[in-house]
Amino acid sequence: MTLRLFDTETRTLRDFTPLVPGHASVYLCGATVQGEPHIGHVRSGVAFDVLRRWLGANGFDVAFIRNVTDIDDKILNKAADAGRPWWEWALTHERAFDRAYETLGVLPPSYEPRATGTITQMVEMMQRLIDRGHAYPSEGNVYFDVRSYPDYGKLSGHKLDDVHQGETAGMGKKDPLDFTMWKAAKPGEPSWPSPWGPGRPGWHLECSAMAEYYLGPDFDIHCGGMDLIFPHHENEIAQSRAAGDGFARYWLHNGWVTMAGEKMSKSLGNVLSIPNVLERVGVRAVELRFYLGSAHYRSMLEYSDQALTEAAASYQRLEGFLLRVAERAGEIPVGEWTEGFAAALNDDLGVPKALAEIHRLVHEGNKAVESGDLEGARTLAGQVRAMLAILGVDPLDPRWAAPADSSSAMDALDVLINAELQRRQEARAAKDWAGADAVRDRLKAAGVEVTDTPNGPEWSLTKEKR
């Protein structure tokens, strides 16, 4: 079955046909490193990590570029407010994003260019646009002439007369519709030389230049959050195609993480940063990733601590199945995904349907364990591993292994729980059903789930204690 993706530009599901057979080129708008990342910032990283893994698993050689915007009005303003050099402020938060991606198991990009490292390419692109009559210099600034590009608004659906760029009025701008590609230097701000005088790049120009330089004038897929459709991605298309590039052939946009129906605010960065959420809610990084990636990438994800806790419990049921099979049947090699799983992901990365298929196999696998069919359970477990690996959450992947210093604590916990289970077995043998139920209820309240099997009771944690 061919991979089909919802293309924002055409508003249709389209078969994915790469420019170069066997090769997939992908550009993801990365972070503007102005502050601590919160879970809303990293949703695109998780969502399109699944795309990358699925392309790779299907034999594509994937070139995946994720940029860093390290020069921007917001970075300069926040650094100034904090009394820090802008370059230190940017790098500090770039590293914070790197840690967030690493914590959530997001694969590193093929390359991660910084805006400040691509100034030469930006200047060259502006010169091409000026030569073609689509841009003009004025008082040290360079502006894109929006009315010179007839297809402006095609991606977002905006009518030309309704366009508001959301930027302060620049010196010498001919039309309020026009947007800034190059900002003339201001006292105390960083700047770079250009034919039009010292200055720094505008936000939209950065991605056009970086995508062209690292992926070529034509590439396959451009990804990003839906909040970037306008004006950022609309302006990228206008610049790049007016400069003569074909640019991206497919546009994919992920939905927001919301709270109370509102887009997650940057002011919540510290409260809902990845380390804070993991510590406060008491979930593991793999469980947070599972939660962020469990909804369809184009849908809104309404965050709550309860929703995260429920997702963690769902993940632990999948994990518990694999651990039980591994304990009783030995090592579980990674198998093959099912046709149902492939059909779900090939239908615009339909992760919810893919998870339903995984849960179906786990249900069959648990029945196989209960009936004593360990080889059948092992085969099903191998398929489950393969599918969870595509989603980046295979519990048996070494990256998600428990820390070595937790082994003694788990051993002690095992002794205590098994003592409780022995009391329960003795109560059942004596037909003391109330006593047996009391043990089970006590364990459940402590976050321990008991499963009765032909070989006796087995236990698993329903919530990781941190």
Report how far Cα 252 is from the mean position of its chain's Cα atoms: 13
Q: How far apart are the first and last CA of the chain?
A: 43
Beta strands 199-201; 179-184: pairing state = antiparallel
Cis peptide bond N-terminal to 231, omega within 30: yes
Structure pTM? 0.85
Say what the pLDDT of residue 440 is.
Answer: 84
What is the spatial distance between Cα 218 and Cα 204, in angstroms, rounded to a whole number? 18
Contact 17, 275 (CB under 8 A): no
pLDDT of 407 reads 43
pLDDT of residue 466: 37
- In the structure encoding, which two tokens stand for residue 299, read together? 């849908």
* Distance (Å, whole) CA 327 – CA 33: 44
pLDDT beneath 50, residues of the chain:
404-408, 463-466
Q: What residue ranges do the domains of the chain occupy? A: 4-254, 262-400, 406-461
What pLDDT shows up at residue 408? Answer: 44
pLDDT tens digits for range 105-152: 999 999 999 999 999 999 999 999 999 999 999 999 999 999 999 999
- Rounded CA-CA distance 301/46 in Å is 13
Residue 284: name the closest of 327, 257, 316 by CA. Answer: 316
pLDDT tens per residue, range 219-260: 999 999 999 999 999 999 999 999 999 999 999 999 999 887
Look at the chain and count its residues. Answer: 466
Q: What is the pLDDT of residue 404?
A: 43
- CATH topology assigned to domain 4-254: Rossmann fold (3.40.50)
Rg (CA), the chain: 26
For 262-400, CATH gives 1.20.120.640
